[in-house]
Amino acid sequence: MARSQRVAMYAAVVVSLALGGCSGRPSQGVLVPVTETFAGASRVPVLVATTRQRSEADRGEMFSSERGEAVAYAAITVSIPPDSGREVGQIQWPSSIPGDPHRDFVTVSADYIDKPTFFNSVTAQAKQARPGKVLIFVHGFNNKFDDAVYRFAQIVHDSKAPGIPVLFTWPSRGELKLRAYTYDRESANYSRDALEELIDTLDRNPNVSEVNILAHSMGNWVALEALRSRYIRPGRFVDKLKNVMLVAPDVDVDVFRTQIRRMGARRPRFALFVSQDDKALALSKTIWGGGPRLGEVNPEQDPWRSELVRDQIEVFDLTSLRKPGDDAHDRAFSDVTSVVGMIKQRLREGQQMTDTKSISMD
């Protein structure tokens, strides 16, 4: 992938991730397929690999926040209303079930599948959309299963990111509570081997040409631990993993240093997205004893600047995009096109991509 294409992909998916929020939403039944469809809506198919347990209480939940004994799989198609009828970057949750496909995100199909069917689907899509790229999304803290599905569908649709969408979702409680935070962290640890296995299996698929990872918040811990284990493993493997995008990573800086060092020179390209006014990461820092979190560092200051340049990590500083009342951990951008265009402009001006990019809307 050319550098300009790589940066455009980084910008598009990260902007869409930062834009994806939700307000009121039904507590149950979101993933029950609707019978009404709308010809003007877009359909986003998402393949799912999860360490969650199947839900016994809510058919529209599919998977709960409990930990499953083995990796499970699903195939879900989400309908997204036309951009003229929605705010780009936002998830239009239905106010009640069933939703209205003219104005809401709704589920068109939702099926449990087995592992062979999952990978056969990857193969079929890769053959149809050559080159067969895959984009894996690893969500963060406070995400129920349907949150993760709709968020990823929104990211794929709004960013127009190339690749087969594969959601890796782990057992987050989906609650803003301290005990939920600690449960989520242990669930992240519980799930890292499963993510490593998923990457390996995609890597061995002869029809897959490239694998990219987008991780957000605590999902970065899952991704980095899986990659660390992968690259210290003895033996050789065909490595199609090309790009890893770390968005607002809730990861201790010192731990990240050791993870990157252990991955060695074979590791994929990394892009890091930070904000110094991220209150969620500031709270996390307090919980973990005061150690700085990777997603809140100032990449213009040493030792961060020199270390990131040395490790050839592309850095995008989103701090300057702050607006009154926004949430830096899940920052809302007013104009996706201008942010992507700004990065492309910097490339045309010949800047090295290992330099810090402080994105501004001015």
pLDDT digits (tens, 9 = 90+) for 122-181: 999 999 987 889 999 999 988 999 999 998 998 888 878 778 999 999 999 988 888 888
| Domains identified in the chain and CATH numbers | 3-358 (3.40.50)
**pTM of this prediction?**
0.88
Radius of gyration of the chain (CA): 19
| Mean pLDDT (whole number) for 94-116 | 93
* CA–CA gap between residue 66 and residue 264 (Å, rounded): 35
Going by the DSSP 8-state scheme, the letter that residue 302 receives in this structure is: T
- In angstroms, what CA-CA distances link 205 with 127, 236, 242? 11, 16, 15
Is 89 a residue whose pLDDT tops 80?
no
Q: What is the pLDDT of residue 1?
A: 62
Is 15 a residue whose pLDDT tops 80?
no
Is 7 a residue whose pLDDT tops 90?
no
Is 352 a residue whose pLDDT tops 50?
no
- 207-237 in b/e burial notation, b at 16+ Cβ within 10 A? ebbbbbbbbbbbbbbbbbbbbbbbbeeeeee
Q: Which of 58-67, 137-146, 194-203, 278-287 has the lowest mean pLDDT?
A: 278-287
* CA–CA gap between residue 169 and residue 148 (Å, rounded): 7
